[in-house]
Amino acid sequence: MRDVMRDLALGILSLDAEGCQFLLRTYSKPLKPENRSSSTSADGQYISRVAAGLTELPREEEWEQSKMMFLMNNKLSALPDKPNCPKLVTLFLQRNYQLRVLPDLFFHNMRVLKLLNLSKTRIKYLPKSISNLERLETLILRDCEHLVKLPSEVGSLKLLQVLDLGGTEIIELPEEIAELDSLSHLEVSFYGSSTNSEHAKLPPKLISRLEALETLSISVYPGDKWWNKSVESVVEEVIKLQLLTSLSFYFPEVKFLELFLGESASWKEESLTEFKFVVGADVEFNASRDPQYVELNYGLISGQCLRFVNSEKIPNAIVNVLARCTAFYLDHHLDVHRLCEFGIGNIKKLKYCIISECPDLETIVDSEEGTESVFPCLEHLSIHYSWSLTSIWKGVVPNGSFAALRTLSLHACPKLTYVFKSSMLQFISNLEELQVDDCEAMEKIISAEEVTESCCISLKSLTLQYLPELVHIWEDAQTRLLFEYISVYDCPQLKQICKDSELKQTLKEIRAEKDWWDELVWEENGIRSHFEAIFTPIGESDVHSS
């Protein structure tokens, strides 16, 4: 760990903005206990006291000598009033959760500071002495949940390239932000005021004046009256950003997306290589019923992402964006019957797909005579609250379809009686995780067909929960489903999990109710005693916490 931190420190001396962003992303996760570190270089220029339970500040002479100070993940509640830091280039204070106040003159003698990380502290404001940071290039305030305002003095940070205000409670940005001519990366969240307020949170012409912007992320509450009123003018400003390569944005109506697609040079020239769009009157996604892990996983995805919500049609603008997407979240679409209605060619790049609350959805793909492979790149498929879903696939399965699929999750699909037909197993040989829960009509995981070649598929994980009609995992001798881990809860009709001893070579853990385990039927003598050693009893609380 010391070597890693030393390399990090030495590297910061010559960082450009891209390097700063890389380091901040790399070291933004809380450190594990085994990675706790406390060390100081012989010359005192490098101080690392990471996750050391620190409550006391470094000594005065340490502030004077240091070029780099790593004090994150500690218990600091106060900072020195006016430290003398003539050499300090880097200061990491993130995740000092007890830190609430920065002294008014704290930054007064830090004139060579380039990198400052205060993320996940409880500060409410930045002192005016921030204006003394004349060489500051990167300022990270992410998830400072009590931060509601920036001082106008931030306009003095002429060399600032990265400003991260994501996850803060900022009410409005000061007009002086527009004076940051070097700013290439801006992330801001407007969560700090009532959604009933129409008070302007982005001063007019601020975004368009930031001509160096390459990355822009604006997060707002859906239904925010100010955003609904202002979004068109903000889109018109974003369109003028010629260097934009990454954009995270909420379009409450398709017409605003159409405006962006039609006028943005970054979009038309395909220099916008990373985007995360939410499109539609998204008044409900904060109260989504999807399992929490689905929302979290989608939030972590980077690349080309589209979330399309609360719609009844498939506009051309959506299709145009989807054709470039690697991730698609279809949420509350009221009349789509098949996902392929969006166009087989438009979903071929998808790696991640979530479908939720689509009441008329009957199947994902209906391909009676199709020859073009479908979802050749798809790795993760998740379907939730689809009341009319009766199958994943209907018709002929073209070669190459679902070839990359690794995880499949099905939740609350009450008409679904099986997951796969046995003939489809040859196409999902890379499947690793399968989760099926709260599908009340589910009778079997793999449905046998009259004519099928023998097939075996090996999973890492199989999770079956709240399936009252489930009788078989598979039922024909030609098909075998092997797995390393299985979790079963509230599947009262399921009396058997395997038909032969092959699972002895693969199965590593069984988690289920004790009563269900005691009533399991085994075809071979001695199998039960073998698996007893890897069985763990679980209850409802274990299911809900997983």
**Would residue 276 count as lying in a domain?**
no
**Would residue 294 count as lying in a domain?**
no
**Would residue 69 count as lying in a domain?**
yes
**333, pLDDT greater than 70:** yes
Strand pairing partners for 249? 277
Domain closes at, from 140, 165, 192: 192
List, in order, residues 6 or more apart from 500 with CB less than 8 Å away: 480, 523, 524
Calculate the CA 425 to chain-centre distance.
29
For 132-138, which contacts have Cβ atoms below 8 Å and span 24 or more sequence positions?
A: 132/107, 132/108, 133/107, 133/157, 134/158, 134/159, 135/111, 135/159, 136/160, 137/15, 137/17, 137/20, 137/161, 137/162, 137/182, 138/17, 138/20, 138/21, 138/24, 138/114, 138/162
Question: What does the chain come to in residues?
Answer: 546
In the chain, the percentage of residues whose pLDDT exceeds 90 is 63
**46, pLDDT greater than 90:** no
**29, pLDDT greater than 70:** no
Local confidence band at 28 (pLDDT 50, 70, 90 cut-offs)? very low
**Would residue 323 count as lying in a domain?**
no
Query: Two tokens at 6?
Result: 């030393």
- How large is the average pLDDT for residues 266-290? 79
Contact 410, 437 (CB under 8 A): yes
**Whole-angstrom Cα distance, residue 348 to residue 333?**
20
Local confidence band at 52 (pLDDT 50, 70, 90 cut-offs)? confident
Buried b (16+ CB within 10 A) or exposed e, 107-127: bbbbeebbbbbbbbbebeebb
- DSSP, residue by residue, 78-94: ---SS-B-SS--EEE-T
The CATH number given to whatever domain includes residue 77 is 3.80.10.10
Domain closes at, from 192, 207, 225: 192
Least confident segment among 218-222, 349-353, 410-414, 510-514: 218-222
Local confidence band at 366 (pLDDT 50, 70, 90 cut-offs)? confident
**Would residue 371 count as lying in a domain?**
no
**Whole-angstrom Cα distance, residue 13 to residue 477?**
65
Contact 425, 398 (CB under 8 A): no
Note the pLDDT tens digit of each residue in 223-245. Answer: 788 898 999 999 999 999 999 99
Buried b (16+ CB within 10 A) or exposed e, 377-405: bbbbbbbbbbeebebbbbeebbeebbeeb
Note the pLDDT tens digit of each residue in 284-305. Answer: 554 455 555 666 566 677 789 9
**20, pLDDT greater than 60:** no
**Would residue 28 count as lying in a domain?**
yes
> CA-CA distances (angstroms) from residue 73 to 35, 94, 141?
11, 7, 15
Local confidence band at 17 (pLDDT 50, 70, 90 cut-offs)? very low
- How large is the average pLDDT for residues 96-118? 96
Mean pLDDT of the chain: 86
Task: Report the amino acid identity of residue 478.
Answer: Q
Domain closes at, from 192, 227, 246: 192
The number of folded domains in the chain is 2
* Residue whose structure tokens are 């996850």: 167
Q: Phi/psi at 501 (nearest 5 deg)?
A: -90, 5
**Whole-angstrom Cα distance, residue 184 to residue 178?**
12
Note the pLDDT tens digit of each residue in 136-154. Answer: 999 999 999 999 999 999 9
Least confident segment among 10-19, 232-241, 493-502: 10-19
**103, pLDDT greater than 70:** yes
List, in order, residues 6 or more apart from 222 with CB less than 8 Å away: 250, 252, 278, 281, 282, 283, 284, 285, 286
**415, pLDDT greater than 60:** yes
Calculate the CA 443 to chain-centre distance.
33
**544, pLDDT greater than 60:** yes
Least confident segment among 118-127, 276-285, 320-329, 533-542: 276-285
**Would residue 435 count as lying in a domain?**
no
CB atoms within 10 A of CB 362: 16
**Whole-angstrom Cα distance, residue 188 to residue 367?**
44
Q: Domain residues for 118?
A: 1-192
**Would residue 174 count as lying in a domain?**
yes
Rounded to a whole number, what is the distance in angstroms from the first to the last CA of the chain? 31
- How large is the average pLDDT for residues 437-464? 85
